[in-house]
Amino acid sequence: MKIIIIGCGKVGRTIAEQLDGEGHNITVVDKNPRTVNRLTEHLDIMGVEGDGASRSVLFEAGVENADLVIAVADADELNLYICLLAHCSGAKNTIARVRNPVYHKNITESQSMRKAIGLSLMINPEKIAALEMSRLIRFPSAIEVDSFARGNVELYTLRLAGDHFLVGKKIADIGLLKGDVFKGESRICLVERDDEIIIPGGNFVFAPGDKVSFICTPSKASRIFKKFNKSAPAKAKNVLIIGGSRTAYYLADILIESNINVKIIEKLPERCAELSDLLPEANIIRGDALNEELLDSEGIDKMDAIVTLMHLDEENIMLSLYARQKSDAKCITKIERIVFDNIVDTMPLDSVIRPRELTAESIVRYVRAVKNSEGSNVESLYKLVDGRAEALEFKINSKDSPVVGKQLKTLKFKNNLQIACITRKGKAIIPKGEDTIEPDDLVIVVTTHKGLQKIDDILD
């Protein structure tokens, strides 16, 4: 597909990297020649330097033949304007990053307006981040939760403590353990050990500190979680949000809806008033969160989950480290800007949310879906462990594929690849060797290989 990305910030950059790797024809546009150069030198893409809101610049980038224009510049208005311009200049699809909830509401509610701008997708990074956080809070002992197959199955990641009952055991032996944890309803798809990503086979032995990801349906999740992690509570009841940002509002809104008590600490009195107006059921505390006494007096040690949403990444990190010291609560740290992923990973931070990466990921997922309508049959793609592994959903369209109708144990798959789940008629099946893939199934494949395009690619 011919894709134009306007704005080469972190999000634009991440999208360009990802989409270039998938073989799309990318042109990036930015006012700053240096950022454009940096990207074009490292990726096989074209760069146009100039104002994306200018018609001539868009034409130079080839907007008239573009399949997709992604506007991820700084301002909402600019992004919407660019999409309008691109739509009028012949671009087939447009995506805008829009932060302001008012704009969001306007455009979502008015079909005619959406049509006029020709917008295919609006991305709200704060909302995406809030959704992701709420998923984590539902299962506090998970480090990450990803949802697949339209929410039919979820992938949970958690870290094994040194004394966990699985440590030293083989995967093949799990079924023999007393009260079988998985009962064939779940499967371990991915293990991250130190710097290594492992798609484990039957002979894999668990070690302390492993980050283990398993897949199952949400309804079975809490039972499995209880077995898996006996000490932690299955569901959060009290959540503390530090920092009253827009993300905090979205998150609180979602949590309150599922009957969770929310406490928000915010420094600015005006914002406190706004929040209490918007969220009458939340407990809004005015005060500077960078103050141990305040945090202690607000019962940081009694919380089930703590989310740090301050403006500065450094403050979030400090607050989370403090919270981890004071309580066993689930901690979620928002990191916006800091790029030293390896260093952040070594800190005992529990879960880290990077809104920009989430934004990029949801755009890439959309591109895959568009592309799917013209050939490749990847329904959606999820980046796992910082993009080092992928979970792909394949829709099985034809009977002719070499994988269809054969028992899985007879097929020779690529290394580092696992069929995690098959969804048939809305029902999730954790496949065993005897199971088969049938037409119309939705197959979820977890792998460290990049750029699989069709289901046949899973074979060696």
Partner 1 sequence: MNSNLVRYVLGWVLIIIGAMLILPIIVAVIYHENDYIYFGIIAVACLTIGLISSKIKPKNTQMYVREGYLSCALTWVLLSVIGCLPFFISRQIPSFTDALFESVSGFTTTGASILGVDRQIEDLSHSMLFWRSFTNWAGGMGILVFMLAVISQLSGHSNMYLMKAESPGPVVSKLNPKLKDTAAVLYGMYGGLTILQFLLLALGGMPVFDAITLSFSTAGTGGFSIKNASVMAYEGHFYWQAVITVFMFLFAVNFSVYYLILTKKIRQAFKLEELRWYFVIFISAIALITIDLTINGFYSNVFERIHHTAFQVSTYISSTGFASADFDTWPELSKTILMTVALIGACAGSTGGGLKVSRAIILVKSTARDLRKMLHPNSVYTVKMDGKAVKEDVVSSINTYLILYVFIMVISVLVLSLDEKMDFATDFTAVIATFNNMGPGLAKVGPTQSYYDYSILSKYVLIFDMLAGRLEILPVLMLFNKSCWKNK
Interaction site with partner 1 (CB under 8 A): 2, 20, 25-27, 33, 40-46
Q: Which is nearer to partner 1, 27 or 94 (CB)?
A: 27
Closest distance between partner 1 and the C-beta of residue 389, in Å? 21
Closest distance between partner 1 and the C-beta of residue 359, in Å? 22
User: Three-class SS string for the chain?
Assistant: CEEEEECCCHHHHHHHHHHHHCCCEEEEEECCHHHHHHHHHHCCCEEEECCCCCHHHHHHCCHHHCCEEEECCCCHHHHHHHHHHHHHCCCCEEEEECCCHHHHHHHHHCHHHHHHHCCCEEECHHHHHHHHHHHHHHCCCCCEEEEEHHHCEEEEEEECCCCCCCCCCEHHHHHHCCCCCCCCCCEEEEEEECCEEECCCCCCECCCCCEEEEEECHHHHHHHHHHHCCCCCCCCCEEEEECCCHHHHHHHHHHHHCCCEEEEEECCHHHHHHHHHHCCCCEEEECCCCCHHHHHHCCHHHCCEEEECCCCHHHHHHHHHHHHHHCCCEEEEECCCCCCHHHHHHCCCCEEECHHHHHHHHHHHHHHHHHHCCCCCEEEEEEECCCCEEEEEEECCCCCCCCECCEHHHCCECCCEEEEEEEECCEEECCCCCCEECCCCEEEEEECCCCCCCHHHHEC
Closest distance between partner 1 and the C-beta of residue 71, in Å? 18
Q: Which is nearer to partner 1, 40 or 229 (CB)?
A: 40
Q: Which is nearer to partner 1, 18 or 27 (CB)?
A: 27
Residue 383 CA to residue 147 CA, distance in Å, equals 12
Closest distance between partner 1 and the C-beta of residue 25, in Å? 4
For residue 133 the two structure tokens come to 């956080």
Q: Which is nearer to partner 1, 91 or 130 (CB)?
A: 91
Residue 279 CA to residue 293 CA, distance in Å, equals 25
Closest alpha carbon to 308 in 290, 320, 295, 324: 320
Closest distance between partner 1 and the C-beta of residue 23, in Å? 8
Closest alpha carbon to 206 in 216, 196, 193: 193
Q: Which is nearer to partner 1, 66 or 95 (CB)?
A: 66
Closest distance between partner 1 and the C-beta of residue 44, in Å? 4
Closest distance between partner 1 and the C-beta of residue 185, in Å? 42
Torsion sign (Cα): 446, 447, 452, 454: negative
Q: Which is nearer to partner 1, 45 or 188 (CB)?
A: 45
Closest distance between partner 1 and the C-beta of residue 48, in Å? 10
Q: Which is nearer to partner 1, 52 or 355 (CB)?
A: 52
Q: Which is nearer to partner 1, 70 or 255 (CB)?
A: 70
Closest distance between partner 1 and the C-beta of residue 26, in Å? 5
Q: Which is nearer to partner 1, 45 or 181 (CB)?
A: 45
Closest distance between partner 1 and the C-beta of residue 59, in Å? 9
Residue 425 CA to residue 346 CA, distance in Å, equals 42
Residues paired with residue 9 on neighbouring β-strands, in sequence order: none
Q: Which is nearer to partner 1, 309 or 367 (CB)?
A: 367
Closest distance between partner 1 and the C-beta of residue 385, in Å? 22
Q: Which is nearer to partner 1, 26 or 123 (CB)?
A: 26
